[in-house]
Structure 1
Amino acid sequence: MDISVVFNEIRSKVYPPLGPEASGEGFNWGHGQVLVAHLMQEDYSAGYYSYIFSKAFAADMFESTFSADLMDREQGQRYRRTVLSKGGSIDEMEILTTFLGRKPDWAAFHRSLSAD
């Protein structure tokens, strides 16, 4: 699979054609999928790490609450009531700690990174 072709085909469905495909030369050009220009923006800086924190918190919530039964109605309702219904009205760490019943930890995230 040529990742550049896949990337350019998908991009052309979302944005107007920008490269050689605009003149009928196909999608096998460039490597736009590897661009990280947004990381260099002055106002972005450490914000990139929020992705990692989000993954760590999600892994902890999933493993401790949903891994046994993805369709557990009671846990889904608890998540809805404890997390989603609060929106931005309460500090996010307070919401997370309340939902987990403890401070979040990185163990589930570390396990999610290991190769089986």
Structure 2
Amino acid sequence: MGPVLLLGSGTDYMVRANIWLPPTGMDPRQEQVLHSYELAHDHPFSFLTVGYFGPGYETTIWEYNPDTLTGQPGEQVELELLEHTDLPPGQPRHPHPAPPTGTLGLPQPANQPP
């Protein structure tokens, strides 16, 4: 992920813009580590996201049962595939908060402005 702009916040919300930059041409393995692509993570909060410009990103959404976990580092987690999707311009997504988890794919270059 690239820059994050905080646009506003209150006691129960935050509005921010995440900017997913296109690949830079550096070694794809370095870029993957730098931006945490293909690294599973959860969102323990509710959020709404909308594609604004460019082809968006690809993501794979998984779900797990937190009641089966002990929280130990390296613990095996049984995942259930929910969907593989992308976020093109104008497409809103409102995934439910954790336990769904996801991995982000490498963004594609933008072709034209909105």
Given the two structures, how large is their TM-score scaled by the length of structure 2?
0.20
Is the radius of gyration larger for structure 1 or structure 2?
1
Q: Which is strand-richer, 1 or 2?
A: 2
Higher relative contact order (CA 8 A, sep 6+): 2
Q: Which is helix-richer, 1 or 2?
A: 1
